[in-house]
């Protein structure tokens, strides 16, 4: 007893060893265990019949891939060359460019109902282009998610991530009272300003992209100041997915409807409203809101994925 007490006193032996922790203590060290498992896995994967099957699959895939790549390259080249052949000659007077610009400036307010001509251009005349841009943002979010998202297959324990967890808690800004106090004042103002920009896109400089960026930046500041736990209570992966899907779906549906029913001089029966009012410009305001939602979700999703590998903390 005394010997054991002295051993505990001088730190030679931990009395609680085997009682409190280290339930499954392996006989070998962690790195050695990793090495042994990897060797066994490699031996299993590199069986001759498996290697042969993989080689066969790879050769078949390579042939098909080459054929499809060749055909699509040729077709793309032909389409681009045909388009180039339709362009006016270099240096010649290009009537289309002059006509389009003067039409936008002179008849933009009357035809789109938007005081801000840029908004009328990107969300009415060229709304299809903006639709593609929103989908590009969505695709970028998906790509970042594929690359950085932590799921059950590549999840690491806090023990393996010891250094990352240490530095993350050490540099965590959410414990700072200065930032918390200032952000409690600033963040609502930023979000309100973002909503103002979003709703006034047809009347003043602004619109979906800038308003969504301000909203996303406000969300990022909120999660920096108060921690991800607070942001997770209302912005989960499910919410992000639903908001993005509803926005993009509404945009595609509404713009497709307008293209098929109202474009090319046909009668457009969506009212334009009085220029300068909030409800003016026909479809521009709802489309602005949809684009803003997508941009905000994408910005906050980027930040969240780069910082901790998930949106909303779920794995």
Partner 1 sequence: MIEWIRFWITAVILFCGILAFILEVAGLFRLGFVMNRMHASGIGDSFGLGCVVFAMIISSGLNLDSLKLFLLILFMWLTSPVSTHFLSRIEVNTNPFIARYVRFGTDYGKK
- CA torsion angle for 99, 105, 108, 110 (degrees, to 10)? -110
Kindly tell me which residue out of 90, 159, 171, 234 binds partner 1, with binding defined by CB under 8 A.
Answer: 171
Closer residue to partner 1, CB minimum distance, 7 or 173: 173
Q: How many residues make contact with partner 1 (CB under 8 A)?
A: 10
Check residue 192 for interaction with partner 1 (CB under 8 A).
no
Q: Which residues between 116 and 145 bind partner 1 (CB under 8 A)? A: none
8-state DSSP, 174: G
144, HSE (Cβ side, Cα atoms, 13 Å): 20
User: Of the ranges 16-24, 44-52, 183-191, 212-220, which one interacts with partner 1 (CB under 8 A)?
Assistant: 183-191
Closer residue to partner 1, CB minimum distance, 90 or 171: 171
Q: Is the dihedral of CA 92, 93, 96, 98 positive or negative?
A: positive
Number of neighbours of residue 122 by Cβ within 10 angstroms: 22
Check residue 185 for interaction with partner 1 (CB under 8 A).
yes
Of the candidates 208, 216, 232, the one whose C-alpha atom is nearest the C-alpha of residue 285 is 208
Check residue 178 for interaction with partner 1 (CB under 8 A).
yes
User: Of the ranges 185-193, 212-220, 226-234, 293-301, which one interacts with partner 1 (CB under 8 A)?
Assistant: 185-193
Q: Return all residues near 222 (Cβ < 8 A) that are at least 6 apart.
A: 183, 187, 230, 231
Contact 212, 294 (CB under 8 A): yes
Exposed, middle or buried: residue 63 (CB in 10 Å: 0-12, 13-18, 19+)? Answer: exposed
Kindly tell me which residue out of 189, 261, 278, 315 binds partner 1, with binding defined by CB under 8 A.
Answer: 189
Closer residue to partner 1, CB minimum distance, 16 or 178: 178
Q: Which residues between 56 and 85 bind partner 1 (CB under 8 A)? A: none
The rounded distance, in Å, linking the Cα atoms of 280 and 276 is 7
The least CB distance from residue 220 to partner 1, in Å, is 14
Burial 247-286 (b: 16+ CB within 10 A, else e): bbeebeebbeebeeeeeeeeeeeeebbebeeeebbbbbbb
The least CB distance from residue 230 to partner 1, in Å, is 19
Kindly tell me which residue out of 109, 148, 165, 179 binds partner 1, with binding defined by CB under 8 A.
Answer: 179
The least CB distance from residue 186 to partner 1, in Å, is 6
Kindly tell me which residue out of 170, 175, 269, 274 binds partner 1, with binding defined by CB under 8 A.
Answer: 170
User: Of the ranges 32-40, 120-128, 131-139, 178-186, which one interacts with partner 1 (CB under 8 A)?
Assistant: 178-186
Q: Which residues bind partner 1 (CB under 8 A)?
A: 170-171, 173, 176, 178-179, 182, 185-186, 189
């Amino acid at each position: 007893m005394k010997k054991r007490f002295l051993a505990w006193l001088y730190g030679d032996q931990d009395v609680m060893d085997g009682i409190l922790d280290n339930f499954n203590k392996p006989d070998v060290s962690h790195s050695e265990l990793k090495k042994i498992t990897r060797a066994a896995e490699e031996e299993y994967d590199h069986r001759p019949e498996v290697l042969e099957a993989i080689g066969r699959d790879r050769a078949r895939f390579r042939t098909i891939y080459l054929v499809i790549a060749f055909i699509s390259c040729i077709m793309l080249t032909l389409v681009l060359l045909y388009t180039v052949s339709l362009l006016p000659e270099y240096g010649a007077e290009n009537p289309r460019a002059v006509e389009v610009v003067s039409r936008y400036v002179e008849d933009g307010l009357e035809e789109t109902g938007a005081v801000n001509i840029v908004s009328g251009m990107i969300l009415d005349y060229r709304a299809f282009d903006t639709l593609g841009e929103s989908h590009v943002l969505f695709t970028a979010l998906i790509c970042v998610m594929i690359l950085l998202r932590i799921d059950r297959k590549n999840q690491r324990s806090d023990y393996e991530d010891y250094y990352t967890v240490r530095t993350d808690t050490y540099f965590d800004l959410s414990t700072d009272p200065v930032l918390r106090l200032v952000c409690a004042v600033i963040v609502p103002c930023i979000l309100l300003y973002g909503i103002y920009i979003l709703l006034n896109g047809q009347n003043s400089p602004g619109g979906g992209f800038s308003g969504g960026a301000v909203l996303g930046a406000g969300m990022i500041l909120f999660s920096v100041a108060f921690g991800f736990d607070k942001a997770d209570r209302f912005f989960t992966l499910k919410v992000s997915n639903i908001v993005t899907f509803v926005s993009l779906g509404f945009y595609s549906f509404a713009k497709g409807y307008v293209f098929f029913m109202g474009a090319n001089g046909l009668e457009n029966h969506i009212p334009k409203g009085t220029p300068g009012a909030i409800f003016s410009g026909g479809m521009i305001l709802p489309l602005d809101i949809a684009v803003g939602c997508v941009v905000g979700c994408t910005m906050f999703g980027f930040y969240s994925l780069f910082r901790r590998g998930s949106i909303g903390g779920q794995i």
